Amino acid sequence: MKTGIFILLLLFIGRNVQAQTNHFEIIKSMELLDQIYQHLDMYFVDDPKTGKLTKIGIDAILNELDPYTEYYHEANIEDYRLMTTGQYGGIGALIRKMGPATFIAEPYEGNPAEKAGLRAGDKIISIDGKSMLNKASDEVSSSLKGPKGTSIDIEIERNGKKQVIKVTRDEIQLPNVPYSGIIQDQIGYIKLNSFTQTAGADVKKALIDLKASGAKSIVLDLRGNGGGLLIEAIKIVNLFVPKGQTVVTTKGRIKEENRVYQTMEEPIDVQIPLTVLIDGGSASASEIVAGSIQDLDRGVIVGETSFGKGLVQRTYDLKYGSKVKLTIAKYYTPSGRCVQRLEYYDKADGSKPKEIADSLVKKFQTKNGREVIDGRGIEPDVVVDVKDFSRLTAMVYANNLIFDFATEYKNAHPTIADAKSFTLSDADYQAFKEKAIKDTFNYSTASEEILKKVMATAEKEGFYEDSKAEFDALMTKVTPSKARDLEKFAPEIKDLIENEIVSRYYYQKGRAEDSFKSDLVLQKAFEILNDKNKWHTILKK
Percent of the chain at pLDDT above 90?
Answer: 70
Q: Residue 50: inside a domain, yes or no?
A: no
For the segment 164-196, what is each residue's pLDDT rounded down to a tens digit?
A: 999 999 999 999 999 999 999 899 999 999 999
Report the C-alpha gap between 296 and 541 in whole angstroms: 11
Q: Which one from 123, 135, 191, 309 is the annotated catalytic residue?
A: 309
Rounded to 10 degrees, the C-alpha dihedral 407/412/414/417 comes to -80
Average pLDDT over every residue of 138-153: 94
Q: Residue 115: inside a domain, yes or no?
A: yes
Clarify whether residues 247 and 348 are in a common domain: yes
Where would I find the H helices in 245-362?
Answer: 285-295
For the segment 322-371, what is each residue's pLDDT rounded down to a tens digit?
A: 999 999 999 999 999 999 999 887 665 667 888 988 999 999 999 999 99
474 contact partners, CB below 8 Å, separation of at least 6: 451
Listed residues 150, 173, 196: the one ending a domain: 173
284 counts as catalytic: yes
Closest CA to 353 of 317, 311, 385, 305: 311
CB 242 within 8 A of CB 267: yes
Clarify whether residues 146 and 224 are in a common domain: no
Average pLDDT over every residue of 244-261: 95
Q: Residue 14: inside a domain, yes or no?
A: no
Percent of the chain at pLDDT above 70?
Answer: 95
Q: Residue 29: inside a domain, yes or no?
A: no
Residue 54 backbone phi and psi in degrees, to 5: -60, -45
Clarify whether residues 312 and 196 are in a common domain: yes
> Looking at residue 82, what is its pLDDT?
81
CB 169 within 8 A of CB 112: yes
Higher model confidence: residue 4 or residue 195? 195
Q: Residue 39: inside a domain, yes or no?
A: no
pLDDT band at 111 (very low <50, low <70, confident <90, very high): very high
pLDDT band at 15 (very low <50, low <70, confident <90, very high): low
For the segment 93-106, what is each residue's pLDDT rounded down to a tens digit?
A: 999 999 999 999 99
309 counts as catalytic: yes
Listed residues 173, 205, 232: the one ending a domain: 173
> Looking at residue 148, what is its pLDDT?
93
What DSSP state is assigned to residue 228?
B
Q: Residue 32: inside a domain, yes or no?
A: no
CB 285 within 8 A of CB 276: no
- Residue 322 has a CB neighbour count (10 Å cut-off) of 17
> Looking at residue 97, what is its pLDDT?
95
Report the C-alpha gap between 302 and 279 in whole angstroms: 9
- Angle, CA 235 vertex, CA 230 and CA 241 arms, to 5°: 125
Closest CA to 222 of 295, 303, 294, 292: 303
Report the C-alpha gap between 258 and 161 in whole angstroms: 61
Q: Which domain holds residue 455?
A: 446-478
Q: Which one from 122, 295, 428, 495 is the annotated catalytic residue?
A: 295
> Looking at residue 345, what is its pLDDT?
76
* Average pLDDT in the chain: 91
Helix axes 401-412, 426-438, angle to 10 degrees: 130
Whether 20 shows a pLDDT value over 70: the answer reads no
2-11, 36-45, 113-122: lowest mean pLDDT where? 2-11
> Looking at residue 141, what is its pLDDT?
94
Secondary structure of residue 17 in the 3-state scheme:
helix
What element of type H or E holds 488? helix 482-488
For the segment 422-474, what is each residue's pLDDT rounded down to a tens digit?
A: 999 999 999 999 999 999 888 877 887 888 888 888 888 888 888 888 888 88
Clarify whether residues 463 and 416 are in a common domain: no
95-104, 208-217, 303-312, 338-347: lowest mean pLDDT where? 338-347
Secondary structure of residue 105 in the 3-state scheme:
strand
> Looking at residue 10, what is its pLDDT?
47
- Angle, CA 495 vertex, CA 492 and CA 496 arms, to 5°: 95
Strand partners, 252: none
Determine the residue type at 443. Answer: Y
74-83, 225-234, 254-263, 350-359: lowest mean pLDDT where? 74-83
> Looking at residue 18, what is its pLDDT?
57
> Looking at residue 109, what is its pLDDT?
94
pLDDT band at 19 (very low <50, low <70, confident <90, very high): low
CB 107 within 8 A of CB 120: yes
Helix axes 401-412, 391-398, angle to 10 degrees: 60
Clarify whether residues 288 and 303 are in a common domain: yes
> Looking at residue 326, what is its pLDDT?
94
Q: Which one from 141, 143, 284, 292 is the annotated catalytic residue?
A: 284
CB 151 within 8 A of CB 166: yes
- Residue 494 has a CB neighbour count (10 Å cut-off) of 17
Residue 327 backbone phi and psi in degrees, to 5: -75, 120
Average pLDDT over every residue of 400-414: 96
Closest CA to 511 of 443, 422, 389, 419: 419
pTM of the model: 0.87
Average pLDDT over every residue of 235-256: 96
82 contact partners, CB below 8 Å, separation of at least 6: 88, 174
Closest CA to 95 of 135, 128, 129: 135
Determine the residue type at 371. Answer: E
Report the C-alpha gap between 89 and 80 in whole angstroms: 13
Residue 22 backbone phi and psi in degrees, to 5: -60, -40
CB 229 within 8 A of CB 197: yes
Q: Number of structural domains, the chain?
A: 4
Secondary structure of residue 137 in the 3-state scheme:
helix
> Looking at residue 469, what is its pLDDT?
86
Residue-by-residue DSSP string for 54-87: HHHHHHHHHHTT-TT-EEE-GGGHHHHHHHHHSE
Listed residues 173, 193, 213: the one ending a domain: 173
Percent helix, percent strand, percent coil in the chain, to nearest 5: 45, 20, 35
CATH value at residue 199: 3.90.226.10
Q: Residue 370: inside a domain, yes or no?
A: yes
Clarify whether residues 345 and 459 are in a common domain: no
137 counts as catalytic: no
For the segment 32-78, what is each residue's pLDDT rounded down to a tens digit?
A: 888 988 888 889 889 888 888 888 888 888 888 899 999 988 877 77
Clarify whether residues 403 and 379 are in a common domain: no
Clarify whether residues 159 and 192 are in a common domain: no
Clarify whether residues 425 and 342 are in a common domain: no
pLDDT band at 496 (very low <50, low <70, confident <90, very high): very high
Report the C-alpha gap between 401 and 432 in whole angstroms: 8
Q: Residue 490: inside a domain, yes or no?
A: yes
Clarify whether residues 213 and 147 are in a common domain: no
Residue 4, Cβ density class (10 Å: 0-12 exposed, 13-18 middle, ≥19 buried): exposed
